[in-house]
Copies of this chain bind each other. A is one copy, B any other.
């Protein structure tokens, strides 16, 4: 069986001890094994800090951007093989796998373009110079410089390619070396990408390390110049945040966690209108794409009392037409969940939400593999505002006057969406929902090829307050701040001007 290895200290190394087995979630057949036992994580971090850091900092933004382009090219060169791996190891349909792999390429290219616009500098000038005293000689200027540590990235199982790329692109552009750890169960795509990167030698030695298997005691080796970005469950996020070493050294932590993303249908939107159809389409896509395993997927579907039965009936009809099965088949629209653990978690979550099933099916579900029917719930318990069921599951909710009051019971999310053409309603929703979200998607049928709220674009921030973890990634240049130290230079204006090459 294929043995996945880690790439640390400038070489590929296999773990020892009992490995974890990676399965094909469609067939439950084992595909590969991985272990991080025996790998010296302290040395791995130190190598990244001492080799990768200085090498990256010696490059200009434009040069770092060229490296990102080269990573995108490497992925592009084996796109078909990576899609096949996503289908096999992730239970992805081909469309799901494209969403992941093409998303990775697009994000890398977006940051590569941003880098080109940032030019030959190696650090950022932050704002205008500031006169501090009565005389112009006493001067201040903020700059942002790369931190001298390692950016540790702990990624979620659902986007092995994109998750790797969206974090790594930003850190590398900022000038920080990365140690990237994919979720083990679906690590084959990220592992192959890492092989491509090392084969092509597109990065300086130490700029990118890769760890498969358990994180073990990784967190206990982090220091005050390191940062950690985590995507996954709120529970694990809390464990990371409360880790004594992370607290002692004020390690910067970014968490993207649970999110009960809501979609609100405006009160004026009549059935069969273009806006109504867009709303249905986005809900169904978010429930079924990647079998609902997207942190941005719509979980709560808020519908005006008046159109409730209509929406329920239409969604049930659309969901009934989704073909579920082996994701290798071209006519299959939804594959299995990514692992047996996820399947168990989804089942437990549906129990927890309670209520009734407005739609679900047992017909045509394969008997092997981690398959689950799409489930549209209604009359659920209050747990619908607390428990993210990470699968093809959403809950219908009626509202009368104030949908925002219902949405904000989710206590902070990554994205919510509003489907309305009533400007007054949109304004009221944005005003009430903005403090609770990292992104608000305003659905409009006139936006062609709209990706819907579930797609994260590199130009916009991705993260959310409260339950969503309080993090923020991407957002074009905004994402760089996490990997840099802002520092105020204070002193004589000519001295500072010379320092900045002016």
- Give residues in A with beta carbon < 8 Å to B: 123, 127, 130, 132-135, 137-138, 140, 142-143, 145-148, 223-225, 237-238, 241-242, 244, 247-252, 255, 257, 411-412, 423, 426-427, 430-431, 434-444, 446-450, 453, 457, 459-461, 465-470, 472, 475-476, 478, 485-492, 495-496, 498-499
Selected from B442, B470, B487, the residue in CB contact (under 8 A) with A495 is B442
Contacts of A430 in B (CB 8 A): 489, 499
Complex Cα spacing A468 to B438, Å: 28
The answer to whether A489 touches B442 (Cβ under 8 A) is yes
Complex Cα spacing A489 to B496, Å: 37
Nearest B residue (CB) for A224: B466
Secondary structure class of chain A's binding surface, majority of residues: mixed
The answer to whether A135 touches B435 (Cβ under 8 A) is no
Complex Cα spacing A443 to B450, Å: 55
The answer to whether B466 touches A223 (Cβ under 8 A) is yes
Nearest B residue (CB) for A418: B491
Selected from B241, B251, B436, B478, the residue in CB contact (under 8 A) with A225 is B436
Nearest B residue (CB) for A130: B459
A-B contact pairs, 22 of them (CB 8 A): A132-B457, A132-B460, A133-B447, A138-B450, A140-B457, A143-B434, A148-B435, A224-B411, A224-B412, A224-B465, A225-B436, A225-B465, A242-B247, A426-B495, A430-B489, A437-B487, A439-B487, A439-B489, A442-B492, A453-B490, A457-B490, A461-B486
Known contacts A145-B435, A476-B130; A250/B446 CB under 8 A: no
Complex Cα spacing A238 to B245, Å: 10
The answer to whether A241 touches B247 (Cβ under 8 A) is yes
Contacts of A130 in B (CB 8 A): 459-460, 476
How far does the Cβ of A283 sit from chain B's closest Cβ, in whole Å?
17
